[in-house]
Copies of this chain bind each other. A is one copy, B any other.
Amino acid sequence: MATESPPVSETLVRVNYSETDQMGVVYHARYLVWLDVARTELLRRSGTTYRDLEASGLRLAVSEVSIRYRQPARYDDRVRIRCWVREAASRKVDFGYSVEHAEDGRLLATARTSLLALDAGMALTRLPDHVRASLQPIPDPIKL
């Protein structure tokens, strides 16, 4: 049997002061960095590091982001980001995300992103087979 990689990665971050704004909550653009970190972690658990992908000449560039903010995250909160593959095509991968308060489980945000495979010259290219094979889509575990 093949080894199984978990279809959903879980990443924990603690909100630092630089992430807050004067509304007393996490500035909304900061969530996109968390999604990036979670996506990197999903790749890592799937057997691929993004660092190695780039070293081999491939780039995954964000082409679309949709995010819904539901509850604010606050300074020093522990936050859990879940990430999974929604769809993997030859040149494009769609990821889904949930962002939750790590202690009480409150849903803070949900998001979707699309990434395009680009070569070193920033032209659209095909994902290597082993990368695409490692990105197994699953149905969204929660409504996005």
Expressed in whole angstroms, the minimum distance between the Cβ of A26 and any Cβ of chain B is: 9
| Other-chain contact of A17, B18, B40, B66, B68 (Cβ < 8 Å) | B40
- Which residues in window 63-95 of A have CB below 8 A to B? 63-69, 72, 75-76
Interface-centre pick from A17, A32, A40, A54 (highest chain B CB count, 10 A)? A17
User: How extensive is the interface on chain A, given as a class?
Assistant: 35 or more
Does chain B have a CB within 8 A of A61? yes
Does chain B have a CB within 8 A of A29? yes
**Copy number in this complex?**
4
Interface string of A11-49 (1 = CB under 8 A from B): 000001110111111011110110011001000000001
A32 with B21: in contact, given A63-B68, A64-B68 (CB under 8 Å)?
no
Contact B76 A50 (CB under 8 A): yes
The CA-CA distance from A122 to B23 in the complex, in Å, is 9
A32 with B33: in contact, given A21-B17, A22-B75 (CB under 8 Å)?
no
Does chain B have a CB within 8 A of A126? no
